[in-house]
Structure 1
Amino acid sequence: MITALDKNTALVLIDLQNGIVQLPLAHPVSDVLANASKLVEAFRKAGLPIVIVNVNPAGAAWTKARKDSNPTAGAAFKEDWLDIAAEINTQPGDIFITKHTWSAFYETQIDEKLKEKGVTGIVLAGISTSIGVEGTARDASERGYNITFATDAMTDMFADAHHNSLKYILPRIGETGTTDKIIEVLG
């Protein structure tokens, strides 16, 4: 349940990029993108910061670590794999972050850029709920940000992972609610 948003809240969209939105996902990506787009427009109207995060795992240390399944080992990405989906109306004044791990805070400048703008709260959405969104949320929480999750503007490759994050993890980190409720509270 969403009770409030900080006066200085930023929208942080995780991995809504061509290479990710084309994967088999648990929920219709068109719904996720439509809700994320509504959030972008509401934050723009309110004059609040928008952070667009994409992921480029190529060459990251974790991709070289031994594990049973290494989905990116030796993978060559299509030319537009990193590009943000066309449904998301990015603007030059947005903050653009490329991460190489699950969290948008690990070895990036997101924390510094948010602090420069006096941001104390973030609204998180994107793909995957249990990876990029949850990883970013954990790090944001450790840095003291108040976090709100747009539950209908995120999905995962696995429905049970999405459900686990929404039911057990994210409510322990912040408040959860729909895009429309967030926009209403943003007012």
Structure 2
Amino acid sequence: MITRIDKNTALVLIDFQLGVTSMALAHPIAAVVHNAALLAAAFRKAGLPVVVVHVNPIGSPAMMVRAEVSSMPKDPAAQKQRLEAMTAGGFFNIVPEINIQPEDIRITKTTWNAFAHTPLLSILQEKNITGIVLAGVSTSIGVESTARTANENGLNITFATDAMTDTQLACHENSLRYIFPRIGETGTTADILHHLSVSEK
């Protein structure tokens, strides 16, 4: 349950890119994207930061380790070929509904976590941000990983439960039920928009 939204809060949108949103997902992606777009428009209207994150894991140290399930090539030539194919196919392009604006903060991450090896934390600190609203794909991967670091750095977190989804429903529900309530507050897009309007007064 959401109790309030900090006056200095940023919206952080995780991996709303074509290559991710085109995967088989647990919820209809059109509704998830629509809610994320509503949040982005409201934050911009309120003069609050919108952070648009996308992932490019090709060649990152996290993709080079041994793992039982891995889809990323480890050979440099194969990485180059994969990157060219993903770029040509629009994998990294943010979905148009987010309607990126010049003032939006763009972050490219190479791991699940939007804070790892990126300037995101220092940017938020420079702007005196005390809270973030999180949305994105996938709930148990990019969103949860980012949330854990945000919590470790003392940021208040609000999770937009209907503006995120996962490739597995069980993973999505596990994060919402057991992880997120321990490190932040959860609510719908409508709840967040209501509290956002209250915080502006």
Pick the TM interval, shorter chain.
Answer: over 0.9
Structure-2 residue corresponding to 1:35: 35
Structure-2 residue corresponding to 1:86: 96
Unmatched runs of 5 consecutive residues or more in structure 1: none
Residue-by-residue CA offset, 1:51-109 (whole Å, 9 max, x unaligned): 00000000111211111110222562242211111111111111000001111000100
Q: Distance in 2 between matches of 1:96 and 1:145?
A: 19
After TM superposition, the score normalised by the length of structure 1 is 0.98
Q: Distance in 1 between matches of 2:178 and 2:135?
A: 17
Structure-2 residue corresponding to 1:53: 53
Structure-1 residue corresponding to 2:175: 165
Of residues 124, 127, 130, the one that matches 2:134 is 124
Off by >6 Å, runs of 4+ in structure 1: none
Q: Distance in 1 between matches of 2:98 and 2:28?
A: 16
Of residues 76, 88, 96, the one that matches 2:106 is 96
Q: Distance in 2 between matches of 1:70 and 1:64?
A: 9
Q: What amino acid is aligned across from residue 119 of structure 1 in structure 2?
A: I
Unmatched runs of 5 consecutive residues or more in structure 2: none
Q: Distance in 1 between matches of 2:173 and 2:71?
A: 22
SS at match of 1:152: strand
Moved more, 26-35 or 64-73: 64-73
Q: Please say if 1:148 is aligned against 2:158.
A: yes
Q: Distance in 2 between matches of 1:173 and 1:137?
A: 8
Q: Which has the larger radius of gyration?
A: 2
Q: Please say if 1:23 is aligned against 2:23.
A: yes
More helix by share: 2
Q: Please say if 1:14 is aligned against 2:17.
A: no
SS at match of 1:63: helix
After TM superposition, the score normalised by the length of structure 2 is 0.91
Residue correspondences, number? 187
Q: What amino acid is aligned across from residue 14 of structure 1 in structure 2?
A: I
Residue-by-residue CA offset, 1:14-39 (whole Å, 9 max, x unaligned): 00001100001000000110000000
Q: CA deviation at 1:43?
A: 0.4
Q: Distance in 1 between matches of 2:121 and 2:193?
A: 24
CA RMSD of superposed structures (Å): 0.9
Q: Distance in 1 between matches of 2:50 and 2:96?
A: 16
Q: CA deviation at 1:11?
A: 0.2
